[in-house]
Structure 1
Amino acid sequence: MTSIKQKSLIGTFVLGSIGLLIVAVVFFGSGLFFTPKTPVVLYFQESVGGLSVGSPVVFRGVQLGQVTGIKIEARINPLSFSIPVTIELAHNQIQLMNPKKKGTSLASELNMSKEAFFKELIDKGLRAELYSKSFVTGELQVMLDFAPDTPETYYAHDPNILEIPTKPSKLEKIARTLESLPLSEITDHLLSAVKGIDELVNSEKMKAVPEDLSTMLTNADAVVQKVKTDIGPLIAQVEKTFASYKALADDVGKNLPALTESYTKLAQNADEQIRTMAIEAKAAMLKLESALDQGQKTLVDLRKTAGPNSATVTDLQKTLNEIAGMARSAKSLFDFLERHPEALIQGKGQRR
């Protein structure tokens, strides 16, 4: 009997030691137990279910403190309730990058009081919100971060305690969004849509769709067979047409050298004839120029006998001038034809 009592006592002692070890790990393992702390109050306007005393307070995943108290405050006029959550923030969790100043708080390094330091952080957007620590257990933690686009609202009446403004959690925002949705109207629309789909699926027209589809496929198959039947003669006709065009092209290719040679000979003969004609015409122009010179001498003699203002002298002078201009134009033409006899065939444009 005594042996059984001793075993029970030993078991109780072992369990107690394990419990003390767990408590030591929880309170001493975080490194916050003997650290100087600053009390801060947070006012949440949403449910804090899942948050408890000892829940961590983190800044971007790094624990800076823990929750020390949760209570409900009531106001009479008007009757309202709020939930102040007291937390403690450790002083030495934020370390300066200068190793020589290790252990110096950020506020003292900035030469600011704690109140002024937190006011500076709040002005830059420091806010607190509830954040899910575990979706399985539903535990919550307090998360601190900067959100300068959120309002800065205070609820505390005690000037001796610091207050950090809060903002709704993401879950609270989702809940508010769901509350604002016209769920009844959406449900009615969904039911109406489901009913319409059910009526369409079970309608006589939908029942006839397989038969109509089978008929359509049969007709399509008949069209395909018809095309297969008619495409053969059509392809044969196209191939025959291509063969005719090929024969014509081959014939043109065979006769083209002979046609080119004939054209070249004709052009050469024409060039020779035109060049000869141009030379003969130039010879005639020389004779015409000689006649014009003789006419000028005659005009000089006539002026001496009939006078310079005689009508005969004037008419003769005009005639000689017109013949001289015509002779110059003809001479220019014959000179050009002598150099380019092909111009009579191709024209005076760009030579080809």
Structure 2
Amino acid sequence: MKNHPQAFRVGLFVVSGLALMVMAIALVLGGQVFTPQDRVMMRFAGSVYGLQVGAPVVFRGVNIGRVVSVGLARDSHAAVVIPVMAALNQEAVSTLSGQGGAGAQALQALVAQGLSAKLSTQSLLTGLLYVDLDLRPGLAAPAPVAGGLIDIPTLPTTIQALQSQIEGIDLNAALQDLAAIAAATRQFVTDPQLKSTVANLAQLSADVRTLTQQLQSQVTPLSAAAQNTLSETQRAAQALGRAAERFAQTAQRVDAAVANDSPTLQAVQRAATELATTATSLRSTVGDNAELVHNLDRAAQDVARAARDLSQLTRLLERQPDVLLRGRAPQP
């Protein structure tokens, strides 16, 4: 009877420890122990040093799973690969697929949209890695199934990609090219023509500087002349504007003067009518049948006869000067 309280305390301690352990595991795993999960396979060709079982699987910063196992295998080309199995949150996978499905269907849809995995560093101090998932449309392809698991395509890390590029460089050829470039540079620098070219460039620079100074000295007078010309142009434009205004006023006055109801136009019309009447009267007076014309003709004939008689008298006096004293001799 005395051992029952002690056994009870021991059993209570064990149960409490197990409960704390379960809570700790659930806390560490983010509650993923009790959620539905989908298993996937990722095959990395490079080193996965720093990737441990239980490492997080992250999609754009959101933890959606964990690494279950890390192993060794060979692919169909007999190359060594590192198969990494991970457990993903089924609800998160279904949400990412956007099709409302679950399991293999949702994973295949994501791989077809470009889902791929890449290792990234959790901390530079510890060197621990995690699996970084993201949608990269350039890698979209049908999802292969191996051993009943969806195989997610993988990408090399940035360091691995840089390392593979460096390994592909032919260092001997690069060194030879550098040596050739150095020799060509040395020959170019020691070439006498280069020194002459540098001297010519210096002289050209001095000439350009002198030309610039001359242009600067000419800019001020040219600017002043341009300003004077502009002022004269402005004054001429103002005078032309005033003349245009006066011309417009004159045109307005002319329009007013020659208007149909203006006194000036009416006076001109009356003068024209009177002038036409006078011309008609004068035409009737000096016409061929006018009395004044007949009188003028008779007067002209009388004058002509008197002129002939006077001419005969003159010739008679020339022949007979005494005819005025004795009279004209009788005709035989």
TM-score (norm 1): 0.45
- TM-score where L is the length of structure 2: 0.47
Q: Which has the larger radius of gyration?
A: 2
